Amino acid sequence: MSIDLSQFFEVFFEESFEGLDAMESELVNIEPGTEDKETINTIFRAAHSIKGGSGTFGFTSVSDFTHVLETLLDQIRDGQRELTTEYVNLLLKSVDCLRTLLRALQAEETPDLEEANELRGKFEAILGMESTAEPTGSSDAVTEVAKNTYQIDFKPKPHLFKTGNEPLFMISELGELGEIETQAFYDAVPDIHQLHPDECFLSWRFFLTTDKEQSAIEEIFEWVEDDAEITINVCGGIFEDAAALSEENEPLSVQKTATQALVSPAGNKELAKKVESKKSTDSSTSNSIRVGIDKVDSLINMVGELVITQAMLSQIGEQEITESTITALQEGLAQLAHNTRDLQENVMRIRMLPISFVFSRFPRLVRDISQKLNKQVELKLLGEQTELDKTVMEKISDPMVHLVRNSLDHGLEIPERRIAAGKDPVGTVTLNAFHQGGNIVIEIMDDGQGLNTERIRQKAIDNGLIQAHEELSSDEVNELIFMPGFSTADEVSDISGRGVGMDVVRRNIQALNGSVEVSSAPGVGSTFTIRLPLTLAILDGQLVQVAQHTYIIPLISIVESLQIDISKVSRVGKDLDVLRLRDEYIPILRLYDIFDHQGAIEELDKTLLVVVESDNHKVGLLVDDLLAQQQVVIKSLEANYQKVDGISGATILGDGRVSLIVDISGLIKLSGLKRPGSQELLVEQHGTEVA
Amino acid sequence: MKKILAVDDSASMRQMVGFTLKKAGFDVTEARDGSEALSIAKQQGFDAVISDVNMPIMDGITLIRELRNLPNYKFTPLLMLTTESGLDKKTEGKAAGATGWIVKPFNPEQLLAVLKKVIR
């Protein structure tokens, strides 16, 4: 029977990655010396499973490497060795290394073994093992030798049956090795009154003529060596010397287990080769999601409801139309609306995963960085079960890493400084996630020194971002860190300040229709607050009228909507109007002009201005009227048509018409307010002129 | 059809063992750990149990000890899946009442060959 083992690979990889994640999170939390047995057990089991699986499925590079890991863990588990920080660090490195190996194997590439071999050498040095460059091979399969006749005495102890072994099967197996002659001794069988049916009283003598080695016979009795008296003697055949004879005459002692021979890696190697030779096709990112069975059940439930409502409606449709059928029809439609909404919500829930998927990578990150910086940090994770769309989750991970790095590097002080400031030497970084309205809010808080407004201000002046005479509130100063090319660290370290600034963080978050803000108190700490829509598939939109068309403006970017006070409008340049709103100058973008529609209201005092904000800049969009606010399902224009500047997508309204969703930052670019490559709106320079 | 209970916390091993045995004509029930296996074993009879040793909640050795003490499993072949490094595990397993062991890693053919020692 041949079974294609490759069908189990995907499950193996998946569970191995899960195992590695589990190992990592346990290792990160471990305090050497205070670890409990279950923690070590969990780590051991993960390594053990990976070793077992990789061996079975022919990934020898992984199983060889895991073997040394497992051996060390086993010794720690048995108390022969104490867990030290050095071991923890080494084990963490091994987790990374294994992950790399497995990813390569998953992508059907030949893994790079350099790091693995180096780490393995370190483990072997710790274990005092001899370095084994070659994978630990097993003995060869049973080889055939010249025919011998063996005399085998097999005298089971009475309890043999209770081990689950069956002499009959062993005898049959023995018979398969060659020609067999059997004698049974039943003199030990007691009188019927004393006979225990549970016990074995029979014993046997076999004469087996076979061309197999003695080990093949030993193998058959391997499991019962303690439960029977077994002697195997050669009583025929040619012997080369007496030593061999006496050795073979010794009572069976199963040292070299033949089952080991069974596990010859030959077949596995072949398999590994086959795997390696295949072209790499897929990447390691998985496009599947795991959905809880409860979510699927509730979906099925809802579809059931929908079917019932549909049946009800079609039944009404067949009846003659009277006043009562109209009432019933209305009720049915209301029911249908209800069902559809429920179904929509639940389908969206399927894409939702707990944010712990992102949070889980931080303990390791914080550990590594704090070690590097010689800072003591405690990481607190709150709201890990808060759910978030999978796509949003994937994209928010990097900005969050950046913010956390920043908090560790710039926010938290070194222990001495903390003690001097009367604080706990151990700094705290807290990640908190919660739902608020249709948004998810992620907070990254540290109890460090807070943003240094003076330094930020100075830097902004040096970089020409603000003028030296400008008076800014501390919040406004803090906002400056999101400006391009800003790094608050006095020296660029390898932790943060890798040339990727906070402006990139903000831009990435805005690309998700989200926002990021900072609040900070000197000496107390700072908090970064990320606000994101729960999903990218649905957006809260403000419907606006432009000529005879309906456009949608994302609600999250709207600051306010107002009627224009014509006396506060000034014209700058050739054709740009700006509105003086409180202390700001808001450029007015005429949507009808940008999208080239005829018949819109052109008089500024008869229209409405929707003030929106993007990339820190406010602009006013001129619209004829504000319509409803509603959730809209985003349809990609690129997928269905082509990319259109100033438009981020489309949706279908209740009446079946297509409505376009305005892309604010694209619009600003399109309108020519921003010079290519410049981060500043042209109008802000004009603004000072008209002032 | 002979019934076998396969116990392993690793899904891929469980699938591999289950698939191999089913293809060889056995009726296979799978369990994820010792305690799940024990409660299944108490509800229905099996002709053999194949169990991993290292598992969460209840390990394989404990499972074998518990099973062997049940009247229905007095003579049932109870096999454990072990790694070659676990020689003392074999002794421990035997003391708990294991019939024998299958050494990891193994391939489907080896699994069936070893199983022939206790089930025919």
Tokens (6 digits) for A513: 């229709």
Report the alpha-carbon angle A615-A620-A623, nearest 5.
130
Q: What is the pLDDT of residues A382-432, one digit of tens each?
A: 988 888 888 888 888 888 988 898 888 888 888 888 999 888 989 999 999
User: Over the range A130-149, which residues count as b (16 or more CB within 10 Å of their CB) and which as e?
Assistant: eeeeeeeebeeebeeeeebb
User: Which residues of chain A have a CB within 8 Å of the CB of B105?
Assistant: 52, 54-57, 63, 263, 268
Biggest CA pair distance of chain B: 34
Q: What is chain B's percent helix, strand, coil content, to nearest 5?
A: 45, 20, 35
Biggest CA pair distance of chain A: 122
In chain A, residues 1-40 whose CB comes closer than 8 Å to chain B: 1-3, 5, 7-9, 11-12, 14-15
Going by C-alpha positions, the residue among A40, A20, A267 that lies closest to residue B108 is A267
User: Which residues of chain A have a CB within 8 Å of the CB of B68?
Assistant: 162
User: Which residues of chain A have a CB within 8 Å of the CB of B97?
Assistant: 162-164
Nearest neighbour of B105 by CB, restricted to A55, A163, A172: A55
pTM of this structure: 0.55
The H or E element that residue A656 is part of is none
Which residues form the domain of B27? Answer: 3-114
Do the chains contact at B75 and A1, CB–CB below 8 Å?
A: no
User: Which residues of chain B have a CB within 8 Å of the CB of A260?
Assistant: 84, 103
pLDDT of residue A500: 57
Residue B73 belongs to a domain: yes
**Residues A400, A442 contacting (CB under 8 angstroms):** yes
Tokens (6 digits) for A534: 């729960």
Do the chains contact at B11 and A71, CB–CB below 8 Å?
A: no
- CA distance linking residue A488 with residue A606, whole number of Å: 47
Residue B19 belongs to a domain: yes
pLDDT of residue A121: 84
- CA distance linking residue A439 with residue A349, whole number of Å: 14
Residue B120 belongs to a domain: no
**Residues A529, A506 contacting (CB under 8 angstroms):** no
- CA distance linking residue A479 with residue A240, whole number of Å: 91
Residue B119 belongs to a domain: no
Nearest neighbour of A56 by CB, restricted to B11, B23, B104: B104
Query: How many domains does chain B divide into?
Result: 1
Where helices occur in A221-291 by DSSP H, the ranges are 242-249, 258-262, 266-277
Tell me how long chain B is. Answer: 120
Nearest chain B residue to A13 by CA: give it. B12
pLDDT of residue A234: 81
Give Cβ neighbours of residue A606 (< 8 Å, ≥ 6 apart).
none
**Residues B27, B3 contacting (CB under 8 angstroms):** yes
Going by C-alpha positions, the residue among A525, A536, A534, A279 that lies closest to residue A411 is A525
Kindly tell me the sign of the dihedral angle through the C-alpha atoms of B51, B53, B54, B59. positive
Tokens (6 digits) for B75: 């003579």
- On whether any CB of chain B is under 8 Å from the CB of A399, the answer is no
Helix A390-406 vs helix A502-511: crossing angle, to nearest 10:
160
Three-state DSSP state, B81: strand
Going by C-alpha positions, the residue among A370, A640, A261 that lies closest to residue B106 is A261
Do the chains contact at A45 and B56, CB–CB below 8 Å?
A: yes
Give the position of tokens 């009959």. Answer: A168
Residue B70 belongs to a domain: yes
Strand segments, DSSP code E, in A75-191 are: 144-156, 178-185
**Residues A164, B76 contacting (CB under 8 angstroms):** yes
pLDDT of residue A683: 54
**Residues A641, A654 contacting (CB under 8 angstroms):** no
Give how far Cα A362 sits from Cα of A357, A368, A437, A529, Å: 10, 10, 26, 17
Residue B43 burial (CB < 10 Å; 0-12/13-18/19+)? exposed
**Residues A578, A609 contacting (CB under 8 angstroms):** no
Top residue of A42, A49, A72 to mutate, by most chain B CBs within 10 Å, is A49
CA A62 to chain centre: 21
Do the chains contact at A169 and B98, CB–CB below 8 Å?
A: no
User: How many Å from the N-terminal Cα to the C-terminal Cα in chain A?
Assistant: 88
Three-state DSSP state, A57: coil
Do the chains contact at A70 and B85, CB–CB below 8 Å?
A: yes
In chain A, residues 202-231 whose CB comes closer than 8 Å to chain B: 220, 222-223, 226
Residue B8 belongs to a domain: yes
In chain B, residues 19-48 whose CB comes closer than 8 Å to chain A: 19-20, 23-24
Residue type, A562: L
Residue B35 belongs to a domain: yes
- On whether any CB of chain B is under 8 Å from the CB of A410, the answer is no
Q: Measure in Å the smallest separation between the Cα of B9 and chain A Cα atoms.
A: 8
Percent of chain B with pLDDT over 90: 26
In chain B, residues 87-106 whose CB comes closer than 8 Å to chain A: 94, 97-106
Nearest neighbour of A49 by CB, restricted to B9, B84, B113: B9
Top residue of A48, A168, A270, A290 to mutate, by most chain B CBs within 10 Å, is A48
The H or E element that residue A424 is part of is none
Nearest neighbour of A53 by CB, restricted to B10, B68, B109: B10
Residues of chain A with pLDDT under 70: 1-2, 129-145, 236-288, 437-438, 485, 487-500, 615-616, 673-691
- CA distance linking residue A514 with residue A425, whole number of Å: 34
- CA distance linking residue A212 with residue A192, whole number of Å: 40
Residue B99 belongs to a domain: yes
In chain B, residues 52-81 whose CB comes closer than 8 Å to chain A: 52, 54-56, 68, 74-78, 81
- CA distance linking residue A432 with residue B119, whole number of Å: 56
Bond before B105 cis per omega within 30 degrees: yes
Nearest neighbour of B99 by CB, restricted to A55, A164, A259: A164
pLDDT of residue A287: 63
pLDDT of residue A268: 44
Tokens (6 digits) for A129: 């093992």
Nearest neighbour of B117 by CB, restricted to A42, A57, A173: A173
pLDDT of residue A180: 86
**Residues A544, A610 contacting (CB under 8 angstroms):** yes
Phi and psi torsions of A323, nearest 5°: -65, -40
Tokens (6 digits) for A11: 């499950």
Give how far Cα B49 sits from Cα of A56, A446, B5, B29, B57, Å: 20, 54, 5, 10, 18
**Residues A237, A210 contacting (CB under 8 angstroms):** no
Do the chains contact at B107 and A44, CB–CB below 8 Å?
A: no
Tokens (6 digits) for B98: 């294991």
Please tell me what DSSP assigns to residue A107: T
Q: Are strands A538-546 and A549-554 parallel, antiparallel or unpaired?
A: antiparallel
- CA distance linking residue A287 with residue A512, whole number of Å: 19
Nearest chain A residue to B13 by CA: give it. A53
Residue B42 sits in a domain of what CATH number? 3.40.50.2300
